[in-house]
Structure 1
Amino acid sequence: MALKVRVGIVGMGQGGTTVYKTLCKIDNIEIIVVCDRIDKSAGMEMARQDGVATCKTLEAFLKVPNLDVIIEATGSPDVQEDLERKKAKSSALIEAQGANLMMNIIEETEKLAIIKQLKGELDTILNSVQEAIEVVGIDGKIKYVNPSFSRVTSIPASQRIGSNIFEASPNGALARALRTHESVFAHRSRVGGSNVDVISNASPIIVDGKMEGAVVVFQPLTDIYKLMEQLKASNQVIDELQSRINQISTSSYTFDDIIGSHPEFESALSLARKAAKSSSTILITGESGTGKELFAHAIHSASSRFDKPFVKVNCAAIPETLLESEFFGHEKGTFTGALKTKLGKMDLANGGTIFLDEIGDMNPYLQAKLLRVLQEMEFERVGGTKTIKVDVRVIAATNRNLLSLAKQGNFREDLFYRLNVIELRLPPLRSHKEDIPAYVHSLIGKFNRKFGKHVVSLTSQAEELLLNYNWPGNIRELQNVMERAMLTTEKELISHKSILNLLDSHSPIPQEHTIEEIIPIEQMEKQMIRLALKRFGDSAEGKKQAAKALKISLATLYNKLKTMT
């Protein structure tokens, strides 16, 4: 182990303290003693904290034995002379100026070591990046290229370095940045001396506010095209997943959303609640607009499959040529346009519920394939040979008489019985009109939220009009009428005038009064006119509607009204 150099310092002012701090960092130097006539100076306190001996006089300092080096940092000629006369011959004396010079040399050496380390780190970074890098001086002379430059361009570094960029690549981003003193982005060009098309970013190199050169970073277009292809492939996967997600939903309604107190309606609701607890196939029948889809949603929500997919298929809305593909999917390349394997509705509904709306419109070929799914819970994709097992609960709905269709040969009888394990018959609205006020109240709340309205209710005439209407479109028609009425009204009460023009004039409205005795024709005519005016109102528009309902001209109505006054 090398012996340490034993050092003593005289003078712990700013200069001496700086020397002290620097020497403390050097491993093979040991500071033995420091001396200063001001015993409480910051330098003296620092030395004491470090465990270094301190003293106030030269006499005490010179008594310390075996000092290899004495550093005089006071700058006083008298102190320097006294030390020279009295120090041991083995001790070397360095004056303050010499000490500062030594310190400057040490500091510069340390700076050079740091720069060397940074250069090594920078070289490692530049050599490892995948992008090509080229650096030039202010005169255009090429000073550096990294290994990726040679990999991309097939130009060796020895051939490139030393040449001038204005000759090697005069149209490139690097030459342009040198000429303009500005950064260049996304510059497409061909690297001089090669046939490589690249996309480049170049920037000036500024040192202390002065431009000293420029640097360029570039990638070949082939790499960018590869990235674009990868991005395109990723986007296709995302699009496919998005397409699947769009076809899958959870149920939107529960039994709490279903309103109705008529015995026939309550009977269907009670059976639906019981059916929800099983996995049996359900057939929901009823006219259009009676709420078949609402019941399907509610059954799924109340079933053990509530957290699994709920997939709806409108059998009448899908072109017949695409029905099989929509239901069971297809393999890639099965037909023109089949660029990838597609999952069908049965795949998407696996584990959950599939709702087949308007099942009566399904073509016979697909009926046979659906029958197999119901019987075996398996199928093959179009163009495929692999049998796919599924676990799907089927709920079908129709407004047609499937049994009658089966007897006519337009629907498979065996499929009908497979679907009709549990049948829910939903009554038309005209058979439970007493539920209309409850429906209206619920719809008013819904559309108030949707349109920001503050409608409270209907006028008695408007409610009477709704109760007397035949509702061929059932609850769906009632919902449409209420939505349009609330869109047009600005009042808290919806009047019969807001309702009247929204109802189908061809739908029969039952008579409000029954004539029980024979009366003169003229008297009956007046009674019908009064009834029409009561229903449609006494305004000009109301009289126009009344004349239309009575099937007389407006002029005739006015003439008859004159005779009634």
Structure 2
Amino acid sequence: MLELSVGIVGAGKGGSALIETLSDFDNIKIEGIADINHEAPGLKLAIKKGIECFESAESMLRSKTFDVIFEVTGDKDAAINIRRLIPDSTALVDGRTANIMLTLIKDREELLKIKETKEQLAIILNSAQEGIQLVDKNGIIQYVNEGYTRITGIPANERIGCNVFDVSQDGALVEVLRTGKPCMGKPNRAVGSNAQVISNAAPVIVNGEMTGAVVVFQDISEVIRLTKELKKSSSMIDGLKDEIKKMNEVKGTFDDIVARSSVMQDVINMAKKAAKEDSTVLITGESGTGKELFANALHSGSTRSLKPMIKINCAAIPAELLESELFGHEAGAFTGAAKLKLGKFELANGGTIFLDEIGDMSPLLQAKLLRVIQEQEIERVGGTKPIKIDVRIIAATNQNLLELIRVGRFREDLYFRLNVININIPPLRERKEDIIALAETYIKEFNRKFYKNVKGLTNKAQDLLLSYQWPGNVRELRNIFERTILMVEGEWITEDLLFPYFNQIKRKDPEKNGLMPIEEMECRMIKKALEEYGSSVKGKQKAAKALKISLATLYNKIKKYNIEA
């Protein structure tokens, strides 16, 4: 077996976890670990295990050649520096990837344990003194245990594949298949055997439908318990397979937040301090101000950054389903719950959960969320045992929670539990210094996306942006620039290009600012596309592609708005 030579840069928690995990593999040899902190716990662990320690990554990489280098320092520049020092033949694994790998290894170990349990259960079934026989809904024999052969004298290969209606037409299995009901204490004798047996049979129900039946000769109490354990193990394997795929990576740091205004700088500074703590955070602000971006940055800047951040919009999921999404459910907890499902809190264990639109949560779930915060444990729907969790909660809302408390729609005790640290993001109209900075950022972003070369805004275009009150905030600003840069032909965004997006009459009155009707905007965009690409069939095909609609939709819109083409 090929042995891999491994080096680790960073001897903190990540490095220690790697040593503990990789040491269990026979084909992996950890030949060095480096950290500038002489007191790092990973170095002490390495010494115990006989792994050579180094004071820096450079000294380690000069002294040895490795097949794989794990970089788990948490330093953004470390991976770049290491890549310069190692040959192309050496693979470099960064901290986040290493964390995911460790998680998958751990989950794989759990799956192997479950598989082992299933194999053990199969051995137990074959060791049982009782005879067991399983048929499908058509009566075809699918399984017999060794006890069946011992009692009846009939080898398994002479029974599996036969129809029970032919070999035991008076037996308990046939009665169950005909009636769909359990049959207990039925005496009979299988065809081809002199053995007299007392049979207890029951239908096998999956998702409310009978898929077959099982019969047990003699005492069935212990076998039923083991069968339930087998089903639970199968359900857990299926549930874990589904939920492992849902692990997501968070994008967004404080460096991604564009802000020149002093008010936003104050908010960012406060958020950076909050990120280093582990307290619950409540983010408030109007729709479109960037609450999710701040939530991402809070997680990325926290000690939990290498753990998952799980997001859920409390307003987007029906109240009757939200509990299952948050806390998970056991197999069979309700109709359609065929297998175990891990909830968002379990998926976020060790990391962060972002509860967006918390003001829309039902009173019943508010009470359960309060208990989760107080007890640090959840209980799956249909479950009976509490499950301990370690999750940081970040909540967000565009509603006035104090007003909701006043009218009885939000719990006051939950509000104070969530509002340990409050980050209020001001609307764009109150930080107009940021508008032009954001505009410049979006110009660069959409230049890359649409292969354009827009240099910037004219002075009049800037004045127009600053005169608008931005009811949709940063999200509205971004959407306008995406559409504008898609259609722009020159190198500068002028007032004329932006003006169609605003209602002229309301723009003159700062108190009544707004956007033009969607249909008018749609008509103008189609006209502009046809002017640019022409009204021929080929031109319309290009126009439809630029507008991201089908050619048939374009023809329907041309007819709807009576556009000459």
TM bucket by the smaller chain? 0.3 to 0.5
> Bigger radius of gyration, 1 or 2?
1
TM-score, normalized by length of structure 1? 0.48
TM-score, normalized by length of structure 2? 0.48
